[in-house]
Structure 1
């Protein structure tokens, strides 16, 4: 049994109004954060109330549902509001918006982007690994991460590719992350060592000639 909605101890973060497909993901995550902060997120996951539930529970659940529905509708743009305001419950509004913008095309696009992904030497390794992991996860190709990394055409650092290849292409993401982090730490330690040597060389006095010139 869920507890009634709570009053947040901290101010709510603003939610940019949803006005189309391009802003859906940020809107969805922002609304979920707000609903969790308010103690209303349970409304979107609970089953429909059953007749045998106590009257008091039905009453506060209806109250939570009304609040949840209101918060969702309040974050829709003036253009979109009329299309969803006719839904009576929070779940109905949430599902209707999701059916409009939460398209299966994301999976297809992510598969293509993961297949086309190429490592950029000018950007941090771990950031690129995180991006590729997201694309592979959404595209249901997470099991191919090892193959992506050892594929020379993708250009991942040779040390990372070599170590992943040593463990096999079916290596899980946790192990891939461990290897990648060790590679980055190793690179940073080498940079620190090289910088220390450079400073040591700069601080050495120049050799003087026989007469001190």
Structure 2
């Protein structure tokens, strides 16, 4: 049985593409997986335990749990920020908690993702094949658009796809 250290896992994290404002949902899924792998995603789901009041005593276990959450929140926030382009890092590095950062990114880029879905749909329906370029090259262009459909979990009936592609063929 092979043991994987955090150092070994950290060396593979550089493979995550930096988020530059494009394909947020894909980046978010990859980042979610990374945060679950390092066991810090829970800070996005669970709020921080409040500090005890002036007259309250806190058990050692609860203090340890609260301090652990603070540390994991900083690790989670750091991984999210590290997964961003320099421009986005500069824009978001002042956000205090991982949950707040995650929510701000969702609010901003889910809306833009919906706009990009409309763009992809219109790209497919208005795509025209032309003479002078190989049919396979143009088919690969259409396939690329359809791949982006599936990445965004858009469903298009196969009959409509086939009929549309036939209609896009050049007259020759």
TM over 0.5: yes
Report the alpha carbon displacement of residue 147 of structure 1 after superposing the two structures with TM. 1.4
Q: 1:74 to 1:129 in 2, by over 3 A?
A: closer
Structure-1-length-normalised TM-score:
0.49
Query: Partner of 1:116 in structure 2?
Result: 126
**Corresponding position of 2:77:** 69
2:115 is equivalent to residue 105 of structure 1: yes
Counterparts in 2 of 1:145-184, with a 5 A limit? 145-151=158-164, 152-155=166-169
How far 1:105 sits from its partner (Å)? 0.9
Show structure 1 runs of 5+ residues with no match: 1-5, 156-213
Q: CA deviation at 1:69?
A: 0.6
Q: TM-score, normalised by structure 2?
A: 0.57
Pairwise CA distance, 1:145: 3.4
Conserved in 2, the CA contact under 8 Å of 1:110 and 1:138?
no
- For residues 43 and 117 of structure 1, do their structure 2 counterparts lie closer, same or farther at Cα, with a shift above 3 Å needed? farther
Alignment partner for residue 83 of structure 1, among 83, 87, 91?
91
Contact 1:117 1:132 in 2 (8 A): no
* 8 Å Cα contact 2:123-2:145 kept in structure 1: no
| Structure-2 change in CA distance of 1:40 and 1:139 (3 Å) | closer
Is contact 1:16–1:75 with CA below 8 Å preserved after alignment?
yes
Q: Report if the CA contact (8 A) 1:106-1:138 is conserved.
A: no
Tell me how far 1:132 sits from its aligned partner: 1.2
Higher mean Cα deviation, 67-76 or 6-15?
Answer: 6-15
Alignment check: 8 A CA contact 2:35 2:76 kept: yes
Q: Give how far 1:77 is off.
A: 4.6
The RMSD of aligned alpha carbons is: 4.0
What count of residue pairs does the alignment treat as equivalent? 145
